[in-house]
Structure 1
Amino acid sequence: MSDGLNDARAIRVAEIMTDFRNLQYYLSQLRASPTAEEYYLEGYSLLRQCSAEAQAILDAPFSASSAAPQGDSEREKQQLRAIIVDAAVRRFQCQRAYLRAHAGLRWMNSRNSVLRGQKPNASHLSALQSADSTLRMELLSLTDAHVDNTLRTQDASQGKWLAEDPTLAQIQQILMSRR
């Protein structure tokens, strides 16, 4: 017997998918034009990696059954729950890539601010090393718990129904099983 929450589940799927779509759009807009000498620098490599991760998330097949529930509210409930989990995992992955890409963009802007169109030289060394260090520290702070917290805080502040969202431990377990 269905519990009468399928409408709430369907709305939650739409909310998560909207967030996912917005994150994917942002990640698809990443543009950096490093010189040949800069191409393999940490921040530029990070931006390429985040773009590739976003594409891989889009390319990954839906992991749950796609059979239509055909009016059976209990099957609909199970299908919506599966979609919530899959969508939440994808959104988590995109949020992580987004936060990492944002750190990379800050690094790129810091670097450009230091160089001001010049080629790097000894006078820039300290400031460029500082930008690199800041990027590394920021990336270390972007733990799975932090990523999860940013999503849950945002959802809770908007009054969204979170009762069936997967926990961080469940998300991590799913991601580990996909490797």
Structure 2
Amino acid sequence: MNKRKCPCSKHLAKIPLPTVNDARAIRIAEIMTDFRNLQYYLNQLRATPTAEEYYLEGYSLLRQCTAEAHAILDAPFSAGTTSPDGDPEREKAQLRGIIVDAAVRRFQCQRAYLRAHAGLRWMNSRNSILRGQKPNASHLQALQATDATLRMELMAITDTHVENTLRSQDASQCKWLAEDPSLAQIQQTLMRR
């Protein structure tokens, strides 16, 4: 029987340890993966309101979220374009800038995602109430309640809430968050854009 040997410190010493810049690069990949997934979801949104429904709050919201997702993609990269040329400090600065830019974009997409999800719940509730019929007086109270629920949900989607959803998700997956920008930094970056 062939027993497997446990790696000893002599063998582990030959394996290069990841640097902090490696951790930064991994963090960028994680944030960008989240961003890509959010963009994919937002680009898959499909709502087909009738001409009478086109300007209703929920349908307008869904169009707005899709437009926001496209605008985020169209925004120019803003983390600086200096080449690190093998200088670890310049590489560190560049990676930190990319983390901030990526985190801001992910934050914006997460906010659009949460708002779009509220819009989809509104649309599904509305469809459930109407069941293929045209709205009439018998539907009025239920439709007004659905509209009110949407407004309440949108009011709850604050910047703090968006940041908490992202932080909770990252923390639950034990991701390295040491250099992620704070909510205040994200808000400042968004105001400058």
Q: Same fold (TM over 0.5)?
A: yes
What are the ranges of 5 or more consecutive residues in structure 1 without an aligned counterpart? Answer: none
Q: CA deviation at 1:67?
A: 2.8
Is residue 83 of structure 1 aligned with residue 98 of structure 2?
A: yes
Q: Which residue of 2 aligns with 1:65?
A: 80
Aligned partner letter, 2:47: A
Query: In structure 1, what is the Cα distance between the partners aligned to 2:186 and 2:33?
Result: 19
> Cα RMSD over matched residues?
1.0
Q: Which of 114, 121, 131 in structure 1 is aligned with 2:129?
A: 114
Residue type at the aligned position of 2:113:
Y
Aligned counterpart for 1:156 among listed residues 171, 174, 177: 171
Larger radius of gyration: 2
Code of the aligned partner of 1:44: Y
In 1, Cα distance between the equivalents of 2:35 and 2:28?
10
Q: Do structure 1's residue 37 and structure 2's residue 52 form an aligned pair?
A: yes
1:124, CA displacement in angstroms? 0.2
Structure 1 residue identity aligned to 2:182: T
SS at match of 2:179: coil
Count of aligned pairs between the two proteins: 176
Provide the secondary structure at the position in 1 that maps to 2:76. coil
**4+ residue segments displaced more than 2 Å:** none
- Partner SS for 1:162: coil
Mapped to 2, the partners of 1:51 and 1:42 lie a distance apart of 14
In structure 2, the residue matched to 1:104 is 119
Query: 121, 129, 133: which is aligned to 2:144?
Result: 129
2:8 alignment counterpart = none
**1:83 positional shift:** 0.2
Deviations 1:27-79 (A, max 9, x none): 00000000000000000000000000000000000012223212111111100
- 2:37 is matched by which residue type in structure 1? N
Could you list the runs of 5+ residues in structure 2 that have no partner in the other structure?
Answer: 1-18
For normalisation by structure 1, the TM-score amounts to 0.97
Q: What is the TM-score with the length of structure 2 in the denominator?
A: 0.90
SS in 2 for 1:133: helix
SS of alignment partner, residue 78 of structure 2: coil
C-alpha offsets along residues 9-32 of structure 1, whole Å, 9 cap, x if unaligned?
000000000000000000000000
- Name the CA distance, whole Å, in 2 between partners of 1:64 and 1:168: 17
